[in-house]
């Protein structure tokens, strides 16, 4: 997640409760992150939009990615 | 609210159906403008081969059936190795139709829909995944048709697929906001296509009804595609009709 934000000249805050809108982490940034994880796993991570809409904080992103990886 | 972002000009452009007609004209024009181009088609023509010999470092081409998703994906990976990451896509490959709906078999309908709608969407998905995974921004140009907006006999399935691509263009522009400019170019009938299907009388009638007085030529569409791929514009999610106002 930090790499995705750094590539855009932004910083990932240390606080997991940081609001994604406030730090400029958008849905496409999440897609980019998921695709990077896919590359590492060598498996597709497909998920629907409602699941994505529930994500609001940095912690939510990390939890969601973790769930996808373990699914 | 989306943050303002600039989508840079495409530097490596993949053109499907790039071996003849409009596709070949687009490939030629981009190469002339210094862009690296990858082109595939079911059949590689002597014209495309000649371009490959003229631009060995800038053109990568091969024989791929757009309906073969695995071959298409392998081609994309090979392009990345040869030219670098793809940041421009022109969905041009398509098959035509010249049969009344009631006389078009279900298999023929399926083939038209697969070739003109499903396969371009599958290719677009794959290219976008590669693009996003690399953190790249890019541009998409879908070559559709005036048939998507006006009714013409003998082109029911073809028109449906082109309308589908126009609709997909708009949703892609929304979905990829800030990362990709997605647009469509909808040419009117090309003189070559029309003369193959229609008689001279019908041809003359269409020309008379076209304010610019002539049918569209591929060379008139190419600058519009180039603009959408290379120029700094805020055009996004649009369908640009190039038909001499024949349809208005």
Most B CBs within 10 A among A2, A35, A39, A53, hence the mutation to make, goes to: A35
Q: Of B188, B155, B187, B185, whose CA–CA distance to B169 is shortest?
A: B185
| Residue A25 contacts residue A2 (beta carbons within 8 Å) | no
Q: What are the helix (H) ranges across B5-141? A: 21-32, 46-54, 69-83, 106-113, 119-133
User: Which residues in chain A have Cβ-Cβ distances shorter than 8 Å to B3?
Assistant: 24, 26
Catalytic status, residue B158:
yes
User: Which residues in chain B have Cβ-Cβ distances shorter than 8 Å to A25?
Assistant: none
pLDDT the model gives residue B1: 45
Which chain B residue's Cα is nearest to A21?
Answer: B1
Q: How far apart are the first and last CA of chain B?
A: 35
Structure tokens belonging to residue B30: 């981009």
Q: Average of pLDDT values for B115-144?
A: 97
The class (CATH top level) of A2-70 is: mainly alpha
Most A CBs within 10 A among B5, B69, B129, B180, hence the mutation to make, goes to: B129
Structure tokens belonging to residue B164: 């589908």
Domain locations in chain B as residue ranges: 12-188+219-242
| Residue B148 contacts residue B166 (beta carbons within 8 Å) | yes
Report the CATH number of the B12-188+219-242 domain.
Answer: 3.40.50.720
- Which has more pLDDT, A13 or B62? B62
Whether the pLDDT of residue A64 is over 80: the answer is: yes
Quick one: which H or E segment has residue B17? none
Residue of B55, B60, B61, B158 with catalytic role = B158
The b/e string for B194-204 (b: 16+ C-beta within 10 A; e otherwise) is beeeeeeeebe
- Which has more pLDDT, A9 or B58? B58
Q: Average of pLDDT values for B106-129?
A: 97
Q: What is the pLDDT of residues B179-231, one digit of tens each?
A: 999 999 999 988 776 556 666 777 787 788 899 999 999 999 999 999 999 99
Domain locations in chain A as residue ranges: 2-70
- For B223, other C-beta atoms within 10 Å of its C-beta total 12
């Amino acid at each position: 997640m930090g790499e995705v934000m750094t590539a855009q000249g932004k910083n990932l805050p240390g606080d997991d409760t940081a609001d994604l809108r406030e730090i400029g982490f958008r849905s496409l940034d999440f897609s980019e992150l998921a695709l990077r994880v896919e590359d590492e796993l060598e498996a597709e991570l497909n998920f629907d939009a409602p699941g994505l809409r529930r994500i609001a904080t940095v912690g939510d992103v990390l939890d969601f990615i973790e769930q996808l990886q373990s699914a | 609210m989306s943050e303002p972002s600039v989508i840079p000009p495409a530097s490596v452009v993949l053109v499907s159906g790039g071996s003849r007609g409009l596709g070949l004209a687009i490939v030629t024009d981009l190469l002339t403008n210094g862009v690296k181009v990858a082109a595939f088609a079911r059949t590689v023509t002597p014209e495309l081969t000649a371009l490959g010999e003229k631009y060995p470092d800038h053109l990568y081409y091969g024989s791929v059936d757009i309906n073969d998703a695995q071959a298409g994906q392998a081609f994309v990976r090979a392009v990345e190795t040869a030219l670098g990451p793809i940041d421009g896509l022109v969905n041009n490959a398509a098959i035509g139709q010249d049969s009344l709906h009631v006389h078009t078999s279900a298999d023929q309908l399926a083939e038209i829909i697969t070739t003109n709608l499903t396969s371009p969407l599958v290719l677009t998905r794959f290219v976008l995944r590669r693009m996003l995974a690399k953190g790249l921004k890019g541009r998409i140009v879908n070559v559709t048709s005036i048939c998507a907006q006006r009714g013409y006999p003998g082109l029911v399935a073809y028109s449906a697929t082109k309308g589908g691509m126009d609709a997909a263009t708009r949703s892609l522009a929304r979905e990829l906001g800030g990362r990709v400019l997605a647009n469509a170019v909808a040419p009117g009938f090309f003189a070559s296509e029309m003369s193959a299907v229609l008689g001279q009388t019908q041809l003359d009638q269409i020309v008379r009804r076209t304010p610019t007085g002539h049918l569209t030529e591929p060379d008139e569409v190419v600058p519009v595609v180039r603009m959408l791929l290379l120029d700094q514009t805020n055009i996004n999610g649009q369908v640009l009709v190039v038909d001499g106002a024949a349809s208005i």
